[in-house]
Structure 1
């Protein structure tokens, strides 16, 4: 606005210019707003479709993994006693196991020592697991206290599974160095060989008997290490570890607790639960895709006199083509005699286009024809690979959807540029109109002033008669 306008003529110049400017702006602005809204809606719709297709593609990849159909599982009827796992090469079978005892580590103690004991000379302690173990040498300084001896042992043995502690008898203040090992298996008892001067800290491999009168003062093994004892199908077996790798080829057992009165059944077979989970994920991803496309291509009436609500991709040929290609592959039969189509697995199409799974029929197919199920889904000619080929062209970084989104983003940029151009043109129009109207207003003011002067002059002339008086 160019200052106060319309004083000379009395006209509402601001209102007239505003109306003219609005009339000039409105058609183009409505056009740009409509284009921006439609383009933004389409970008959003394509993004939703791209997301649903990406999720579907991930589900296809999971079910197209050949190793999924090679996996074997080992299930235990009592995981509180025993757990089991199996590698892909394991043979299917059922086994009965009993756990009589677990493999254990050892605990040993030195002879009783005065609580104020100090090492009489520098030397070393060699900590061994069994008599034949070369051991780990730990240097002890002259005058080292029992606490310092303990700390030196723990520092040197921290990665060996052996730890040192001190236990003091409250009745007489006598202290014993106690060594504990987590290494299991018979003959793995903790022993300490001492150099000259440190003999009091040595621990022998003799097992101490609590009934022996010298038990409280002698060095030796408090708790001997031992093998796990168990049976498989009645065969008595032993293991130095509670994790058993080689009793049955490609099957690993972990002994958790001992109870020789309870038999544990271990079943080794195909990983049907893993396949079932992947099949359900595939169906869920497909149904989410169908739900998304239905929403994006639907027209919903909201009552008489109101415009219907339309999806962002109504009438889109790309969506129709995509769904047609996917459906064609879903119903196409593939190799196998007992399992040729999804229907043979209990997977059927509903009225709304989604899939449903008959879990019982799927379980039966996996139990009776596991390998054929794998052939249907996985491999170069499998259903998952064929479906992936139909959607990859849409979801790849340079695929159809991303190319369209890129083009639409350019349209949005063009709308912004056109809006800037419109604002500049309107600003120039407004300036020109104000200039023209103000010039007219000034002219009217001048004419009014001249008219008033003439009237005054005529009124002052001698003999002039004003008829209005």
Structure 2
């Protein structure tokens, strides 16, 4: 009688590992469900991160729209330039406060600094040297400094003057006649003549020159005429002749041949700011639509389909665009449409440059007020969405808490599964042992029955 059971090795032939593995595959289904749930939450966190980044970019774009309360719209949205009909005469920088127009500029002379050269071989005493800067006749002194010159050598005099911050720079030049001290006033102008006193061999006064020094360059002020008005400047950089304008003189003009200074206002910056705003808003709008919709053609849903936070954010943004900010109520221009910005069917914005240019030409300040009003309104809404207490920030925090909860559930489930797997292994190992014993008993009985049959035949 042949046995119907197959004995595999020392055991019963039961595949304990295989059976336990298949049973655990079923037991792990809740764990896989947690993995799927976590992947979904992570996708939503990533989606909200993209929304937050897009809104932050939009907020940066509208920063240029936020005219400060009480600010001058024309100055805030304008840049200024200054040009000369001969740019070799001077360079011009124009800033806020500049009054556009054309001016006649004549440059009679440039400002120059006083420069003295000491006589070669002069014997110098020691003591305290007083260095003064002032008018050539000595009636006005603008600065006076006293220094100790040490041993009286030219190098000691040089070092003492340079270390005293006296408004004068000293150098020793070794020429054909021997070493000579060269003194230069740090600034030009008719009140920057150098005078020296207190040390023999170095005494010098421009009002009564001595042989100790030779004047290499006489100090003088810059002299210009602007639209017929004479102006004297101690420096070649003139910043107080016209408000908001700095003129850096380079050379004198030819006699009776003035150059033309043109100051102009460029208002195109507001166009660029509005273009940047529209572009940033449209990027946000496209992202929000993609994340919150279902595409039947691909049978795919956005990561935030049906999410209340996204719907709320989108609703606030759209409502703001279609409403009139309180500060604009009653003004001639009070909507985005009034300045050439319209809302399309898909929620995006479109800028009509031609309409904007006409509005700017007719009422620049009015356009600026509309831009500033909507800029402030949208900035407040975005802060309410992505600020530290914002809706989207809170939503993201909540989703991150869900990830933490899922991790804890996973740890608990994995511990339970370890126990279940151990129990299954013990049960099926015991069954394997039991069946193995039964097979051995069956084999023994078959052998006994076979022996008994042989004995009966005899």
1:369 aligns with 2:370: no
1:6–1:438 CA contact under 8 A, matched in 2: no
* CA distance in structure 1 between the aligned counterparts of 2:147 and 2:455, rounded to whole angstroms: 140
2:309–2:392 CA contact under 8 A, matched in 1: no
Match of 2:171 among 165, 176, 186: 165
* CA distance in structure 1 between the aligned counterparts of 2:351 and 2:109, rounded to whole angstroms: 46
Aligned to 1:84: 93
2:115–2:183 CA contact under 8 A, matched in 1: yes
1:405 aligns with 2:413: no
Aligned to 2:161: 153
Aligned to 2:51: 49
* CA distance in structure 1 between the aligned counterparts of 2:172 and 2:457, rounded to whole angstroms: 135
What is the CA-CA distance between 1:451 and the residue it aligns to?
A: 3.4
Name the SS of the counterpart of 2:241 in structure 1: strand
The alignment's TM-score, normalised by the length of structure 2, stands at 0.83
Aligned to 2:434: 443
Aligned to 2:81: 75
Match of 1:14 among 1, 17, 25: 17
Name the SS of the counterpart of 1:464 in structure 2: helix
Runs of 5+ unmatched residues, structure 1: 209-213
What is the CA-CA distance between 1:441 and the residue it aligns to?
A: 1.3
1:340 aligns with 2:334: yes
Name the SS of the counterpart of 1:246 in structure 2: coil
Name the SS of the counterpart of 2:44 in structure 1: helix
Aligned to 1:122: 126
Name the SS of the counterpart of 1:258 in structure 2: coil
- Change in Cα spacing, 1:68 to 1:423, as seen in structure 2 (3 Å) is farther
What is the CA-CA distance between 1:419 and the residue it aligns to?
A: 1.6
1:335–1:375 CA contact under 8 A, matched in 2: no
Aligned to 2:310: 319
1:384 aligns with 2:384: no
1:354 aligns with 2:348: yes
1:125–1:138 CA contact under 8 A, matched in 2: yes
- Change in Cα spacing, 1:253 to 1:279, as seen in structure 2 (3 Å) is same
What is the CA-CA distance between 1:73 and the residue it aligns to?
A: 4.8
Aligned to 2:4: none
2:115–2:182 CA contact under 8 A, matched in 1: yes
Match of 1:108 among 113, 116, 119: 116
* CA distance in structure 1 between the aligned counterparts of 2:92 and 2:457, rounded to whole angstroms: 126
Equivalent residues in 2 for 1:430-469 (5 A)?
430-456=421-447, 464-465=455-456
What's the CA shift string for 1:31-59, capped at 9, x where partnerless?
21221111111111111111222222333
Aligned to 2:203: 202
1:49–1:293 CA contact under 8 A, matched in 2: yes
What is the CA-CA distance between 1:106 and the residue it aligns to?
A: 2.0
* CA distance in structure 2 between the aligned counterparts of 1:292 and 1:258, rounded to whole angstroms: 58
* CA distance in structure 2 between the aligned counterparts of 1:448 and 1:324, rounded to whole angstroms: 75
- Change in Cα spacing, 1:312 to 1:104, as seen in structure 2 (3 Å) is farther
1:207–1:220 CA contact under 8 A, matched in 2: no
1:165–1:178 CA contact under 8 A, matched in 2: yes
Match of 2:147 among 138, 143, 152: 138
What is the CA-CA distance between 1:275 and the residue it aligns to?
A: 3.2
- Change in Cα spacing, 1:92 to 1:398, as seen in structure 2 (3 Å) is same
What's the CA shift string for 1:14-43, capped at 9, x where partnerless?
111111111221x21332122111111111
Please provide the CA RMSD for this pair: 3.2
Aligned to 1:211: none
Match of 2:284 among 286, 289, 294: 289
1:99–1:255 CA contact under 8 A, matched in 2: no
Aligned to 1:29: 31
Name the SS of the counterpart of 1:156 in structure 2: coil
1:129–1:191 CA contact under 8 A, matched in 2: yes
